[in-house]
Homo-oligomer: A and B are copies of this chain.
Amino acid sequence: MDLDVLFLGTAGSSPSPRRGLPATLLRRGGDRLLVDCGEGTQRQLMRSVGLVELEELLITHFHADHVLGLPGMLKTFTLRQRERELTVFGPRGLRRLFDLLRPVIGRVTFPITLVELKPNEELERDGYRIAAFEVDHGGPGLGYAFVEHPRPGVFDPERARELGVTPGPDFGRLQRGETVGGVRPEQVMGEERRGRKVVITGDTAPCDMTRLVAWEADLLVHEATFLDEDAERARETGHSTAAGAAALAAAAGVEMLALTHISPRYAGGQIRDEARAAFDNVVVPRDFDRIEIPLPERGPPSLIRASDSPPQPIVEPAG
């Protein structure tokens, strides 16, 4: 099952020529989950994977830079006569946000369901769950953990034969958890294998809850709005420094750390270098970069730069 994270907007607060406002797309098999929807997100989607008819949208918090792409995207869905329901999840206050936006959005052609999530509330999906967790950004704010269900262990056909099971349908029964002729599944199945875990924080100071939730995650996408030289400002505004995010990633034992919410006041390289002093496997994705997370036995997560397979050019051919 393919799993990746596509970075559609990696700037914080204000966009820059190179970075759009926050939006991150998690893709697992055929599922598409958009986390946050800053101004310009619909176009960032069009410029990469296309404006898919997202069914689920997760909002981390209601600061303007994370939500101002909503009205335009819903407008465009409407222009396309969308009929499919859209469910928007977010922390307490989501309904109030839509009360404010609705007059701006106007009429839409499809039902929108709003779900205010409580911290630690979980959504069951086919093969994984989405766990909302409380972050520390000075108001209602949620991070989201995407946690795959454990996978069954590997079936050992040799062992099954030794125990007298005949190859064929009985092998299948054992693998589905049934006991066959006195042979129990655990006798022929290897240990349960862990699923993958991706955690996306939204805006937050480094906090215990993120550290707990991100424990041994394959990928932690954490904000890094400031450098350590601006640590006081980070504390005041409920944001993280690159060093703070990296220390958390190290304490949580994550496999890879991806930093976002990058301020134009720093070069991406500064953010990365500061983080790398505390945690080795850190990347600072640019817009349209993506991180593939293979099954753990197939290798570690890897960053695929958009510059290696760029989105469509912004300048159309002459004609």
Contact = CB atoms under 8 A, between A and B. Distances in A.
Interface of A: 13-18, 20-21, 39-40, 42-43, 46-47, 64-65, 68-69, 71-72, 75-76, 79-80, 100-101, 103-106, 267-269, 286-288, 305-307, 310-316, 318-319
B68 A104 contact: yes
A310 B315 contact: yes
B316 A314 contact: no
Given A76-B14, A104-B100, A314-B314, A319 B268 contact: yes
Contacts of A39: 39-40, 42-43, 68-69, 71-72
A106 B64 contact: yes
Copies in the complex: 2
B79 A14 contact: yes
A43 B65 CA distance: 13
Contacts of A18: 312-316
Contacts of A315: 18, 286-288, 306-307, 310
Contacts of A306: 315
Given A15-B43, A17-B47, A40-B43, 9 more contacts: A15-B46, A17-B311, A17-B314, A64-B72, A65-B72, A65-B75, A100-B104, A287-B315, A288-B314
Contacts of A79: 13-14
In this complex, which of A43, A47, A307 has the most chain B Cβ atoms within 10 angstroms of its Cβ? A43
Contacts of A43: 15-17, 20, 39-40
B318 A16 contact: no
Contact of A14 (B42, B65, B286): B42
Contacts of A17: 43, 46-47, 311-312, 314
Nearest to A51: B14
Contacts of A288: 314-315
A182 B269 CA distance: 74
Contacts of A287: 314-315
A316 B64 contact: no
A55 to B, nearest CB: 20
B68 A72 contact: yes
Contacts of A310: 315
Nearest to A316: B18
Contacts of A268: 316, 319
Given A13-B79, A14-B76, A286 B64 contact: no
A64 B45 CA distance: 19
Nearest to A100: B103
Nearest to A96: B103
B101 A104 contact: yes
Contacts of A21: 72
Contacts of A13: 76, 79
A147 B308 CA distance: 48
Q: Which of A42, A79, A314 has the most CB of B within 10 A?
A: A314
